[in-house]
Amino acid sequence: MDAAGLTRLLSPQGWALLGALPPYDESRTLAISERLRREGLDPELVAAALTQSRLRAKAHDKLGAFADGMLFTPTGLEQATRLEVAARHAQRYVAAGVTHVADLTCGIGADAMAFAGLGLRVLAIDADELTAAIATVNLRHFPESEVRHADSLTVDLTGIDGAYADPARRTTAGSRVHDPAAYAPPLDAVLAVRSHVPALGVKVGPGIPHGALPPDAEAQWVSVDGDVVEAGLWFGPLAPHGPGRSALVLRRGGAHALRAEPGGDRPPVGAVGEYLFEPDGAVIRAGLVGEVADLVGGRLIDSTIAYVTADTRNETAFATAYRVLDTLPFGLKRLRSYLRERDVGRLTIKKRGTAVVPEQLRAQLDLRGRAEATVVLTRVAGRQVVLLVDPV
């Protein structure tokens, strides 16, 4: 969408059309478009409205019902923070006593809306004029919010007691950027803000290496229903427990935080026990597999593999538990015979520490039975093994 398209949508006719469209259905889009054009509506307005309807439908996964009153760009929606995660961001600022926060790279305004929704004054800034205009629309219900089209690193932050940034991590071609120096703006430039606004939070890619973490940051990896969605760097009063690494696991309506304990011993390595625990992705990214082993009274199955095993079932929100039914050395013929003897036809394949491609293995096994099974392909004490497991 360009500026002209936004102007059309914000006209009384455009806004009414957008609100009157039925729930988005790809199979009906062409028919709706043709009908609206026959009724005399501007074809470009119809196209813009249908595009927004599609983006709103897609945004429901991240923003729920709030998406129905918002405008989007494809890039802005891609980078927008999920509602439940944005709410956690806002809670940090409130808990730290921040009253006026600058969202330095506001995008379409998802985080800014969460800040404003908890009563914070918000200065939302974006370097792209169209994106800033869309953020203005999305923040229209919050009179204490101000949106500016500007280079955030040159804006006077006098009176601001908290800052937040979500630098762009994709190239213009859409590929992901993993080097923090290639963020837009670069991570180092954003981190310089903490010299005059100590309460700084920065959303970064979950693949950021531990060696790139500032020593004064709390680095927290966040997962939602098992998917790692972001990492965040928190400074000053936004990191009340001080620097370190943590994981926030959001699932089943609950929030669970795990933090690295300084000076902790490396977890022991031992034989596969009665239970296998697969740590959440945020826990793995944060390097907290050892903490999970401590929580379940377990040990690693291999010093280089993020699977924990234990002899007793100890539930934890930070890992998925499986009962180990059998262990056998990896071999295609052996595994095929084993599964066919058990009449397995539907197979869930999990892997870690092996080059086996699950889709290729499933085709090679050619299973046609009626039973269902789960196998884990991994290494135990350096050997390739197959674990037959049952989810607890």
DSSP H stretches of helix in the chain:
3-10, 12-20, 29-38, 43-63, 74-79, 83-95, 110-117, 129-138, 187-191, 281-285, 289-296, 332-341, 358-365
Q: Using CA of residue 69, residue 72, residue 78, residue 81, what is the dihedral sign? A: negative
Tokens 């800014």: give the residue: 112
pLDDT band at 95 (very low <50, low <70, confident <90, very high): very high
The Cα–Cα gap between 5 and 14 comes to 10
Q: What pLDDT, on the 0 to 100 scale, is given for residue 266?
A: 80
82 and 39 share a domain?
no
Average pLDDT over residues 204-228: 94
Q: What pLDDT, on the 0 to 100 scale, is given for residue 264?
A: 62
Q: Is the pLDDT of residue 173 over 70?
A: no
Q: Which domain holds residue 170?
A: 77-259
236 and 340 share a domain?
no
319 and 247 share a domain?
no
pLDDT band at 113 (very low <50, low <70, confident <90, very high): very high
223 and 367 share a domain?
no
Task: Establish if 206 belongs to a structural domain.
Answer: yes
Average pLDDT over residues 157-168: 96
120 and 244 share a domain?
yes
Q: Are strands 121-126 and 100-103 parallel, antiparallel or unpaired?
A: parallel
The Cα–Cα gap between 388 and 214 comes to 42
Q: What pLDDT, on the 0 to 100 scale, is given for residue 177?
A: 79
Task: Establish if 268 belongs to a structural domain.
Answer: no
Any idea what the CATH number is for the domain that residue 204 is in? Answer: 3.40.50.150
Tens-place pLDDT, residues 245-280: 999 999 876 899 999 876 666 889 999 999 999 999
Q: What pLDDT, on the 0 to 100 scale, is given for residue 260?
A: 85
Task: Establish if 379 belongs to a structural domain.
Answer: yes
Boundary of a domain, candidates 259, 289, 319: 259
Q: Is the pLDDT of residue 168 over 70?
A: yes
93 and 61 share a domain?
no
pTM of structure: 0.91
Task: Establish if 375 belongs to a structural domain.
Answer: yes
- Within 10 Å of residue 39's Cβ, how many Cβ atoms? 8
DSSP, res 116: H
66 and 9 share a domain?
yes
Backbone angles phi, psi at 294, to 5 degrees: -65, -40
Task: Establish if 102 belongs to a structural domain.
Answer: yes
Q: What pLDDT, on the 0 to 100 scale, is given for residue 3?
A: 84
Average pLDDT over residues 109-132: 96
12 and 65 share a domain?
yes
Nearest to 103 by CA among 120, 118, 119: 120
Tens-place pLDDT, residues 338-385: 999 999 999 999 999 999 999 999 999 999 999 999 999 999 988 999
53 and 99 share a domain?
no
Average pLDDT over residues 279-308: 95
Nearest to 329 by CA among 268, 384, 392, 261: 384
Q: Is the pLDDT of residue 222 over 70?
A: yes
The Cα–Cα gap between 185 and 88 comes to 23
The share of the chain scoring above pLDDT 70, in percent, equals: 97
The Cα–Cα gap between 220 and 170 comes to 21
Task: Establish if 219 belongs to a structural domain.
Answer: yes
Q: Using CA of residue 192, residue 166, residue 151, residue 160, what is the dihedral sign? A: negative
Domain count, the chain: 3
Q: What pLDDT, on the 0 to 100 scale, is given for residue 387?
A: 96
279 and 207 share a domain?
no
Boundary of a domain, candidates 24, 44, 71: 71
Q: What pLDDT, on the 0 to 100 scale, is given for residue 265?
A: 66
Indicate the average pLDDT of the chain: 93
Q: What pLDDT, on the 0 to 100 scale, is given for residue 252?
A: 78
146 and 30 share a domain?
no
Average pLDDT over residues 306-320: 95
Task: Establish if 270 belongs to a structural domain.
Answer: no
Q: Is the pLDDT of residue 174 over 80?
A: no
Task: Establish if 112 belongs to a structural domain.
Answer: yes
Boundary of a domain, candidates 24, 50, 71: 71
Please, which residues bridge with residue 202 across strands? 165, 233
205 and 284 share a domain?
no
Average pLDDT over residues 65-90: 94
CB within 8 Å of 312: residues ≥ 6 apart: 274, 275, 297
